[in-house]
Amino acid sequence: MAIQKLAVELDETIRQTRELVTSVNDALDVLMNKELSDLNARTTAINQIIVGLQAQDRIEQRCTNISQAIENLKKCTIKFDESKCTDVWKNLSLDELSKPEMSGISARIPHGEVDLF
């Protein structure tokens, strides 16, 4: 289960990264839209870029936590003991990683914004 959870969390990190790129791309589309006033386009693009940068911070936290989980998994006995390694996730700082019920929850909730939490 611990290794499977790692795979799920890496998939979620990939998805959030994809959303980050989409957010920045959308901001560039707004800036290139000649139908919008310059001020309106800049304001909209700035907001989309800020959301993208917040997502980047979240992705960095996820990656740091996943890296920490991997290091802790390495410390498990040579013969892999699932029951001992499951506790690795409980000590991470992000709720979506440390609490099984939160794992991947943002992917299951429909919305139109980049996931921040």
At 113 the pLDDT is 59
Band (115; pLDDT cuts 50, 70, 90): low
At 73 the pLDDT is 79
Band (4; pLDDT cuts 50, 70, 90): confident
Judge whether residue 38 has pLDDT over 80.
yes
Judge whether residue 104 has pLDDT over 70.
no
**Cα–Cα distance between 53 and 69 in angstroms, integer?**
24
At 117 the pLDDT is 45
Higher pLDDT, 84 or 107: 84
Helix 38-74 and helix 2-32, axial crossing angle in degrees, nearest 10: 170
Q: Give long-range contacts, CB 8 A cutoff, 24+ apart: 22-25.
A: 22/114, 23/48, 23/49, 23/51, 23/52, 23/55, 23/114, 24/48, 24/49, 24/52
At 68 the pLDDT is 87
If you average pLDDT over every residue of the chain, what do you get?
79
